[in-house]
Amino acid sequence: VRRHRIAVIAGDGIGKEVVPEGLRVLEAVSRRYGFGLEYDHFDFASCEYYLRHGAMMPADWKQQIGSHDAIFFGAVGWPETVPDHISLWGSLIQFRREFDQYVNLRPVKLMPGVPSPLAGRKPGDIDFYVVRENTEGEYSSIGGRMFPGTDREIVMQETVMTRVGIDRVLKYAFELAQRREKKHLTSATKSNGISITMPYWDERVEAMAPQYADVRWDKYHIDILTAHFVQHPDWFDVVVASNLFGDILSDLGPACTGTIGIAPAANINPERVFPSLFEPVHGSAPDIAGKWIANPVGQIWSAALMLDHLGEREAAAAIVSAIERVLAEPALRTRDLGGPAGTIACGQAIADAVE
């Protein structure tokens, strides 16, 4: 039988509540489709680990998880005890950068029966991908603080964009658009105000577009693009964006589909030199952690993206279909969608629907 080795990292807060539901559904689907999954669980990349060890991860973290077929990740962050930039730059952002997961693929889809906060929207009206650049751009470690504590204090953080870095994520986005029915690519920019990096981003899009003559493409400045997400979500098919713009768009898009709690993410190293990482878009949600009311669908849908990446296409599709059937049932929805179900009840229902 086919076997896949998965590194499992639950992290903090609701990460520890939704990851078991992802594993529950993976177990059900692997039984039904006849492949094997082996899990290795790791306790690093969590704030509890940090408090015990003074670092988010052991020095040899790359050896420990670098040869797995994929990483199944929950969420990290517990700002009450560890500042967010320390916990995130010490874990998730290291994974993305060191494993060269330069594509962050984030599907946005209004599910049948689920009410959208946008009046009159039905499934099919909201069905697109955000393709987020995931290793450079606004998330850069170049910068610093000068004259700290004085009234002349200065802080700077550079945006870094490279030709290779932009072109490779654009290529992924164009190719994805080419495989879709609408064959439509939208580029997020801000080349009116950010006058060096964003015009360069636009230039690279324009240079690449002729190679994908069958793809219709356009671009919007990020400010009006956020407005269009709300007023015209049906305009979008594949939306490609720099690291920060993609981060913002990938919370806004899912919010338009009812909740960020269902949104998944695939942090992909397309060359497969390193493992890719699959996680929900949301964070550790300290405000609801411990209450067992978190929506597990973002984590479970991420499991489907992981199986798709591992070549288990049918099993991945079965998970998405099970999610759709469960979400169509108001009694099985969690509180963020106005339902009464807890995390486990919702996860169990999806696992049952898969079998």
Active site residues: 139, 190, 223, 247, 251
Q: What is the nearest approach in angstroms of ligand IPM to the Cβ of residue 328?
A: 27
User: Are 170 and 189 within 8 A, CB to CB?
Assistant: no
- 197's torsion region: left (phi>0), alpha (psi -120 to 50) or beta? alpha
| Token couple for 20 | 């078991």
Q: Which residue number, 68 or 106, has a Cβ lying nearer to Mn ion?
A: 106
Measured CA to CA, the distance from residue 196 to residue 173 in angstroms comes to: 22
CA distances from 129 to 13, 104, 108, 126, 241 (A): 27, 10, 6, 10, 11
Of the candidates 90, 258, 261, 347, which one interacts with ligand NAD according to CB under 6 A?
Answer: 261
290 has which bridge partners? none
Binding positions for ligand IPM, 281-300, rule CB under 6 A = 281, 283
Q: Is 247 in the site for ligand NAD (CB under 6 A)?
A: no
User: Are 42 and 64 within 8 A, CB to CB?
Assistant: yes
Instruction: Pick one of Mn ion, ligand IPM, ligand NAD, none as the site partner of residue 258 (Cβ within 5 to 8 A by kind).
Output: none
Q: Which residue number, 189 or 243, has a Cβ lying nearer to ligand NAD?
A: 243
Q: What is the nearest approach in angstroms of ligand IPM to the Cβ of residue 109?
A: 18
Q: Which residue number, 247 or 312, has a Cβ lying nearer to ligand IPM?
A: 247
Please name the residue that has the structure tokens 């990446």: 309
Q: What is the nearest approach in angstroms of ligand IPM to the Cβ of residue 188?
A: 15
Q: Is 260 in the site for ligand NAD (CB under 6 A)?
A: yes
Q: Is 239 in the site for ligand IPM (CB under 6 A)?
A: no
Q: Is 307 in the site for ligand IPM (CB under 6 A)?
A: no
Q: What is the nearest approach in angstroms of ligand IPM to the Cβ of residue 120?
A: 29
Name every residue whose Cβ is closer than 8 Å to that of residue 178 and which is 6 or more positions away in sequence: 212, 214, 215
Binding site for Mn ion (CB under 5 A): 247
Q: Is 282 in the site for ligand NAD (CB under 6 A)?
A: yes
Instruction: Pick one of ligand IPM, Mn ion, ligand NAD, none as the site partner of residue 260 (Cβ within 5 to 8 A by kind).
Output: ligand NAD
Q: What is the nearest approach in angstroms of ligand IPM to the Cβ of residue 146?
A: 25
Measured CA to CA, the distance from residue 118 to residue 71 in angstroms comes to: 34
CA 133 from centre of chain:
11
Print burial letters for 56-91: b (CB count within 10 Å at least 16), e (below 16): bbeeebeeebeebbbbbbbbbbbeeebeeeebbebb
Q: What is the nearest approach in angstroms of Mn ion to the Cβ of residue 338?
A: 23
Own/partner pairs, 81-86, CB within 8 angstroms, 24+ separation: 81/47, 81/50, 81/51, 82/47, 82/50, 82/51, 86/50, 86/56
Q: Which residue number, 233 or 261, has a Cβ lying nearer to ligand NAD?
A: 261
Q: Which residue number, 302 or 348, has a Cβ lying nearer to ligand IPM?
A: 302
User: Are 293 and 343 within 8 A, CB to CB?
Assistant: yes
Would the CA dihedral through 141, 143, 146, 152 be positive or negative? negative
Binding positions for ligand NAD, 156-175, rule CB under 6 A = none
Q: Residues interacting with ligand IPM, by CB under 6 A?
A: 88, 247, 281, 283
Q: Residues interacting with ligand NAD, by CB under 6 A?
A: 14, 75-77, 79, 84, 88, 92, 260-261, 279, 282-288, 294-295, 298, 336
